[in-house]
Amino acid sequence: MDFLELEGITKEFPSRSGPPARVMERVSFSVREGEFMAVLGPSGCGKSTLLQMAAGLLPPSSGEARIGGRRVDGPPPEAVYVFQQYTRSLLPWRNVRDNVAFAVEHRIGRRRARAAAEVQLAQVGLAGFGDHFPWQLSGGMQQRVAIARALAAEPALLLMDEPFSAVDALTRLDLQALILDIWTQRKLTVMLVTHDVEEAIYLADRIAMLTRRPTTLAEIVEVGLPRPRDPIATRELPRFLELRHDLLGKLLTRHAV
């Protein structure tokens, strides 16, 4: 069953001179319940914009997003958006525990929120780091905090905007494994934006490919790799290599046009 539906989404930004700039043109696709969907596209094509419209953080100019059949106008309780740059979305004046608790303390009160935060921190491998401040942690650990905070809200849908683009390659593998674990355990629906072809193939069930601006949906690719996936073995499967060859080629030619 479709959980997140994007239907005819068009986005224009007002420009100072002349007509509004059309960034995105009638993009439609759906993400099934429990599915891991990756969105792949060249830089600046509007991936973040699309994800923000799905999260109810930005209204589309026309078309609509639906989550669980209900039209999105404003952030829905089922969905949580994870930001591209964790340094900007973590609050430096709160320690790690209180950063995570922030996601729910307005609903369940500070004491219970802190208890919940400890549980989530343990889940992302940060047990015992509650008293640290975000700026005392490495980039990868900060992104784990951001993930723990998202999980604390117990979302059904996780919208992730290039969550691993700012960390080193090894940490990225770690975090990818963490996200796959969480996705499997909690039966989440995930839409993850990336410009990293291998990351998209390794993580996703399907990949939505976007074109350059004005952005449309180019195609949807079935990944069809077996699960559970292995960070080394999966990347050596013929199907993985074939997909990588295909998608990279498509991205590069679209860039060249």
Partner 1 sequence: MRALARPSSGFLLILALLLLWEVSARFDWMNSPNWPPLSVVLAALARDSLGGELPLLLGGTLWRMFAGLLAGGAAGVIVGLLFASLPVTRRLFGLTVELIRPIPIPAIIPPLVLFLGLDNTMKVTVVGLTAFFPVLTNTMQGVRAVEADALAMGRTFGIGFWRRSLHIVLPACLPYVFAGFRVALALALVVTVVAEMIAGEQGVGHYLVLMQFAGRAPEMYATVILLAVLGYGLNRGFLAFERRALHWYFALGAQRN
Footprint on this chain of partner 1 (rule: CB under 8 A):
52, 55, 57, 74-75, 77, 79-81, 83, 85, 88-89, 91-93, 102-104, 106-107, 133, 135, 153
Contact 31, 183 (CB under 8 A): no
Quote the CA–CA distance of 104 and 153 in Å, as a whole number: 6
Smaller CB separation from partner 1, 166 or 173: 166
- Give the Cβ contact number of residue 73 at 10 Å: 11
17 interacts with ligand ATP by CB under 6 A = no
Size of the site for ligand ATP (CB under 6 A): 11
Cα end-to-end distance, the chain, whole Å = 36
On whether the CB atoms of residues 79 and 67 are closer than 8 A, the answer is yes
The least CB distance from residue 20 to partner 1, in Å, is 20
Nearer to Mg ion, 48 or 142 (CB): 48
Secondary element (H or E) of residue 233 = none
Q: Give the residue, chosen from 45, 82, 157, 208, that forms a contact with ligand ATP under the rule CB under 6 A.
A: 45
Residue 30 contact partner, candidates partner 1, Mg ion, ligand ATP, none, CB within 5 to 8 A by sort of partner: none
Q: Which stretch binds ligand ATP (CB under 6 A): 40-48, 74-82, 101-109, 237-245?
A: 40-48
For residue 84, the Cα-to-chain-centroid distance in whole angstroms is 8
**CB-based contacts of 59, cutoff 8 Å, min separation 6:** 53, 73
Q: Smallest gap, in angstroms, from Cβ of residue 131 to ligand ATP?
A: 33
Nearer to ligand ATP, 13 or 125 (CB): 13
Residue 75 or residue 125: which is nearer to partner 1 going by CB?
A: 75
CB under 5 to 8 A by kind: which of ligand ATP, Mg ion, partner 1, none does 245 bind? Answer: none
Q: Which residues pair with 219 in a beta bridge?
A: 209
* 122 interacts with, out of Mg ion, ligand ATP, partner 1, none, CB within 5 to 8 A per kind: none
Does residue 20 bind ligand ATP (CB under 6 A)?
no
Question: By the 8 A CB rule, do 191 and 160 touch?
Answer: yes
Parallel/antiparallel/unpaired status of strands 2-13 and 62-67: antiparallel
For residues 193 and 208, what is the distance between their CA atoms, to the nearest angstrom?
9
Interaction site with ligand ATP (CB under 6 A): 13, 23, 41, 43-49, 195
